[in-house]
């Protein structure tokens, strides 16, 4: 006995899917073109830049960026090759790795940020009222909340 989506839910769901598609394409294309990295990589740099000593344990970084461990490993490998991140072994747990944002990485982030924010504004905030921004936050938080 499947409870199908009613008319309103259907519309909302499809609108959401279209919005997500537009967002991802727009954000990724901009970052790829102007900064040579996908949005997921940008997010990693952001999270690292906000952390104490610009560094974080791999798994903490994965959680903060909403990434799987595997994805993070591959991504950090790539970013390490570019010299934007450096790996250090954790002193208290020899299994652990610590990802550190390098100066070059920080510079890359600083250089990429304005264009990215501009694009986010164009794609999202220029299209919404202040009230809708509040609504969006509530909705986003509800959907993002872990208990699935």
Binding site for DNA (CB under 7 A): 24-25, 28-29, 32-33, 37-38, 40-41, 57-60, 62, 67-78, 87, 90, 93-98
Q: How many C-beta atoms surround the C-beta of residue 115 within 10 A? A: 14
Q: For residues 49-78, which are near a second copy according to CB under 8 A?
A: 66
Determine the Cα–Cα distance for residues 1 and 85; give it in Å rounded to an integer: 51
* Parallel, antiparallel or unpaired: strands 97-101 and 55-57: antiparallel
Q: State the helix-helix crossing angle for 39-50 and 7-35, rounded to 10 degrees.
A: 80
Q: Cβ closer to a second copy: 27 or 76?
A: 27
For residue 33, state whether it binds a second copy (rule: CB under 8 A). Answer: no
Which one of a second copy, DNA, none is in contact with 104 (Cβ closer than 5 to 8 A by kind)?
A: none
The yes or no reply on residue 139 touching a second copy (CB under 8 A) is: yes
Please name the residues in contact with 28: beta carbons below 8 A apart, sequence gap of 6 or more: 38, 39
Binding partner of 69, given DNA, a second copy, none, CB within 5-8 angstroms per partner class: DNA
User: What are the counts of helices (DSSP H) followed by strands (DSSP E) for the chain?
Assistant: 6, 3
**DSSP state at residue 68:** -
124 touches a second copy (CB under 8 A): yes
Binding site for a second copy (CB under 8 A): 2-5, 8-9, 11-24, 26, 43, 66, 113-114, 117-118, 120-125, 127-128, 130, 132-145, 148
């Amino acid at each position: 006995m499947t409870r199908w989506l009613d008319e309103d839910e259907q519309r909302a769901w499809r609108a959401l899917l279209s919005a997500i598609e537009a967002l991802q394409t727009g954000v990724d294309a901009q970052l790829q073109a102007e900064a040579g990295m996908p949005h997921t990589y940008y997010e990693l740099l952001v999270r690292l830049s906000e952390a104490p000593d610009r560094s974080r344990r791999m798994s903490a970084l994965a959680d903060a960026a909403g990434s799987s461990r595997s994805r993070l490993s591959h991504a950090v490998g790539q970013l390490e090759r570019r010299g934007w991140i450096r790996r250090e072994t954790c002193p208290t747990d020899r299994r652990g790795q610590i990802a550190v944002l390098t100066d070059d990485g920080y510079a890359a982030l600083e250089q990429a940020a304005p264009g990215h924010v501009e694009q986010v504004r164009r794609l999202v905030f220029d299209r919404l009222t202040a009230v809708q921004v509040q609504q969006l936050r509530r909705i986003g938080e509800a959907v993002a909340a872990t208990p699935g």
